[in-house]
Amino acid sequence: MYDNILVPISFETGHDISGATSVAQALANDGAQITLIHVMEHIPAYAISYMTQGYLEEARIAIEAELARIGEGLSNATAVVIEGHAGRTLLDWAEEHENDCIVIASHRPEMQDLLLGSTATQVVRHAKCAVHVLR
């Protein structure tokens, strides 16, 4: 069905990582590229001073290692860690890399999501490609 699938991975509690990768595999054509992506949000300046030096680089290395581990069971999977605002950055990445499908996990919306909007909501509303949402 799809040749270039983007799978955003969030390590927050409640996100179904294995479900998203399984659906991506099921939707992939033979030889399709699957990209596992994690967006590291920018840490506000007032908070960064409380973190140990090298924390961000260590976190990035740990996230890259975990994404690589998740991608081991997938054919043609690559792992990418980028920085920015999750929703907007995912949309920009998908457009720039010509993804034809995004498979994203969602959680049950809470009051803050109704006021501010979740990442999955932003992706569904603004993506220029197909989006499959898992709950």
Domains, the chain, ordered by start: 2-134 (3.40.50.620)
Output the pLDDT for position 116: 46
Element housing 68 (H / E)? helix 55-71
User: SS3 for 67?
Assistant: helix
Q: How confident is the prediction for the chain on average, in pLDDT?
A: 89
Structure tokens at 71: 């991608």
42-46, 51-55, 110-114, 121-125: which is most confident: 121-125
Output the pLDDT for position 109: 61
Stretch 34-41: mean pLDDT, rounded?
A: 96
